[in-house]
């Protein structure tokens, strides 16, 4: 499995943000990670990316443990956070070159050109992050993640700050990467996006997985497979918000 999570727990002091979380994401799968605010989605993704050290449990990327074999695991991983944190003094192209050096990417000039065209960043190669809009900075972060052939892609709210064209392109890019065999874990509050592009959905609440399956499986399990049922209905019912939403 490209991404394997076993009994993951992450605590901040006495507060448990993620508890006993286990799931797997195979190559070619696009898994949507959804949940209300504070459910533990970002903590999960950061633990998977090696930013946060798990308090307990294991995270493996292509079989490499993120703690014990951090370098090998990280080499196969691309994490695209919700906030575009870039180096203030490096240009767009320099960010891509830096990423290429870090991940030993060959032919970076060609790849960078293709990617910058794809993400509509052409003409901004020599701009510093401070000269870009938030959406463009987000695209640079995504470009840094996509410039290499990662087997596991982690997206945390990838569409934040993007314009409609950017959202569409991003959606296509994610699907294309999934079809190309990458394991994708995507966290988003945009349920229609998750419903549209994800092959499987994990719903989190209170730091735990409360539902895991395809849209059809979840709907069938919750007996709301009637016409017009949507992921939103499933989400509301699973997280117990249905009554309050009414």
Partner 1 sequence: MITASLYIVICTARNRLRLRLRRLREPRYLFGAIAAGAYFYFTVFARIRGGRMARARRQNATPLMAGATAAALQGSGPGLAAIAMFVLAGLAWVFPAGSGLLDFTPAETDLLMPAPITRRQLLLHRMIRSQIGLFFASVMPAILVPSASALSRVRLAMAIWLVLVTAKIYFTGVTLTRTRLASALGGDRWAAWTPVAVLLGAIGIVASSMWRTFDGNTLDGPADLLKHLGRVATTGTAGIVLFPFVALVRPIFAPWPGPFLAALLPAAAVLASIIVWVLRSDEGFEEATAASAARRAAAGSRSVTAAPVARRVAWTLAPRGRAEGIFLWKNAIQMLRETTGGMLARYLVPLVLVSVSAGTALMAGNRARGTAMTLCSLAVGLAAFAVMLGPQVLRIDLRDDLRHLELMKTWPLDPSAVIRGEMLWSGIVLTGVAWLAIVCAMILSAAGFPRLSLVWRLSGSMAAMVIAPALVFAQLTVHNAAAVLFPAWVPLGHSRPRGLDAMGQRLILFGAVVLTLVFMMTPGVLAGAVLWIAFQRFMGAAVVIPAAIACLGIVAIEVIAASEALGPAFEMMDIAAVERAE
Nearer to partner 1, 101 or 192 (CB): 101
Q: Is 38 left (phi over 0), alpha (psi -120 to 50) or beta?
A: left
Q: Tell me if 186 sits within 8 A of 44, measured CB to CB.
A: no
Asked if 110 interacts with partner 1 (CB under 8 A), we say no
Asked if 106 interacts with partner 1 (CB under 8 A), we say yes
From 9, 58, 75, 113, residue interacting with partner 1 (rule: CB under 8 A): 75
- The CB-of-109 to partner 1 minimum distance in angstroms stands at 10
Nearer to partner 1, 34 or 112 (CB): 112
Nearer to partner 1, 141 or 201 (CB): 141
Asked if 6 interacts with partner 1 (CB under 8 A), we say no
Show contacts with partner 1 in window 123-152 (CB under 8 A).
126-128, 130-131
Counted residue by residue, the chain has a size of 246
Q: Tell me if 48 sits within 8 A of 154, measured CB to CB.
A: yes
Q: Which two tokens stand for residue 10?
A: 């992450």
From 74, 139, 177, 200, residue interacting with partner 1 (rule: CB under 8 A): 74
Rg of the chain (C-alpha set): 18
Stretch that binds partner 1, among 30-38, 43-51, 168-176, 223-231 (CB under 8 A): 43-51
Asked if 47 interacts with partner 1 (CB under 8 A), we say no
Binding site for partner 1 (CB under 8 A): 12, 46, 49-53, 70-75, 77, 79, 81, 85, 87-91, 94, 97-98, 100-104, 106, 108, 126-128, 130-131
């Amino acid at each position: 499995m490209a991404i394997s999570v076993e009994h993951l727990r992450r605590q901040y002091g006495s507060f448990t943000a993620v508890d006993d979380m286990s799931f797997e994401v195979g190559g070619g799968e696009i898994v949507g990670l959804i949940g209300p605010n504070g459910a533990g989605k970002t903590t999960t993704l950061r633990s998977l990316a090696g930013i946060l050290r798990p308090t307990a449990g294991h995270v493996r990327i292509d079989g490499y443990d993120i703690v014990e074999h951090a370098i090998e695991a990280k080499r196969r991983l691309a994490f695209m956070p919700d906030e575009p944190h870039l180096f203030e003094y490096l240009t767009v192209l320099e960010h891509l070159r830096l990423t290429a050096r870090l991940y030993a990417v060959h032919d970076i000039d060609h790849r960078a050109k293709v990617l910058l065209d794809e993400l509509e960043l052409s003409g901004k190669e020599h701009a510093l992050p401070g000269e870009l809009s938030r959406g463009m900075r987000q695209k640079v972060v995504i470009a840094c993640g996509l410039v290499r052939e990662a087997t596991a892609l982690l997206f945390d709210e990838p569409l934040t700050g993007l314009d409609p064209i950017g959202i569409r392109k991003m959606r296509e890019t994610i699907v294309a990467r999934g079809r190309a065999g990458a394991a994708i874990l995507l966290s988003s509050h945009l349920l229609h996006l998750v419903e549209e592009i994800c092959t499987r959905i994990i719903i989190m609440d209170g730091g735990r997985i409360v539902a895991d399956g395809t849209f059809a499986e979840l709907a069938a399990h919750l007996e709301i497979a009637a016409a017009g049922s949507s992921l939103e209905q499933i989400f509301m019912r699973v997280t117990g918000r249905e009554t309050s939403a009414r």
